[in-house]
Amino acid sequence: MTYCLGITTSSGLIMAADSRTNAGVDKVSTFQKLFDFSVPGERAIVLCTSGSLSLSQGVLTLIRRDIKQQVETNLYSCPTLYHVASYMGSLIRKMHQQEGQWLKKDGVAFSCRFIVGGQILGEEPELYLIYNEGNFIHATQETPYFQIGETKYGKPILDRTVQYQTPLETAAKCALLSIDATIKSNLSVGPPILLVMYETDSFEIKYHLKLSGEDPYLIDLSSRWQNALKEASEQMPDIPWRYSLKATEDSQPNTD
């Protein structure tokens, strides 16, 4: 399983991913799921991926091949992030055409999703979610984050803490807390955690981090959040108990 997320704010972008993959309880591996394809000074492009490893790795291989061979349409020739998302969608469809029919014969699940974020010179920063079918949507001020993979455990934190005007450093902490909550509740998501922070108009990924499960900062962050939640729950006002569930003659079930 996987958990990746991207956040767009008024001052930049946050991208984060875990590194655990598994194909059963006794087959757990670590693979990188966050990739930096930036060209400093000209474009900052970061990808996160989830789903079938063979499919996502195939797409990444095609991206690198097209760059190396200077194919007319490649990640470095796309004029906007919209074109980057469209290009990546076409590569997903190409992989489905090449491999999908053979895997389908054996009933093998074959799907992936990508989050791509960044900024190209002359454009504003953008964040896109690319679906398995190759279509995509972009983040807005009203919906400033995307998740892929095991999303449900980390979503409540993002819903309550992240807005478009959230300071970039705060958004980065919220991303880590969202991943930490997912790791706590799902063993198929795990460290190392990769995190990048991109500042608008910098056209360079200056801030990046890799956190192991034993990293002192990650342990401290998790502990502080847990203690804060516990303290907050203890400070909630008492429940005004009034309703009685005691059965009366009027509330007896009708057995006729």
| pLDDT given for residue 50 in this prediction | 93
CB 179 within 8 A of CB 4: no
pLDDT at 57 over 70: yes
Asked whether residue 46 is assigned to any structural domain, the reply reads yes
Q: What is the pLDDT of residues 125-169, one digit of tens each?
A: 999 999 999 999 999 999 999 999 999 999 999 999 999 999 999
Q: 189: domain range?
A: 3-231
Q: What is the pLDDT of residues 62-87, one digit of tens each?
A: 999 999 999 999 999 999 999 999 99
Asked whether residue 44 is assigned to any structural domain, the reply reads yes
Number of folded domains that form the chain: 1
Q: What is the pLDDT of residues 120-136, one digit of tens each?
A: 999 999 999 999 999 99
Q: Residue 105 — very low, low, confident or very high, per pLDDT cuts 50/70/90?
A: confident
pTM for this one?
0.89
Q: Report the candidate in 201, 196, 159, 200 with the shortest Cα–Cα distance to residue 181.
A: 159
- Average pLDDT value over all residues in the chain: 91
Q: Which amino acid is at 143?
A: T
CATH no. for residue 188?
A: 3.60.20.10
Asked whether residue 135 is assigned to any structural domain, the reply reads yes
Reduced to 3 DSSP states, what percent helix, strand and coil does the chain have, rounded to the nearest 5? Answer: 35, 25, 40
Asked whether residue 177 is assigned to any structural domain, the reply reads yes
Sequence-distant (6+) residues with CB within 8 A of 185 are: 153
The rounded distance, in Å, linking the Cα atoms of 247 and 200 is 63
Asked whether residue 185 is assigned to any structural domain, the reply reads yes
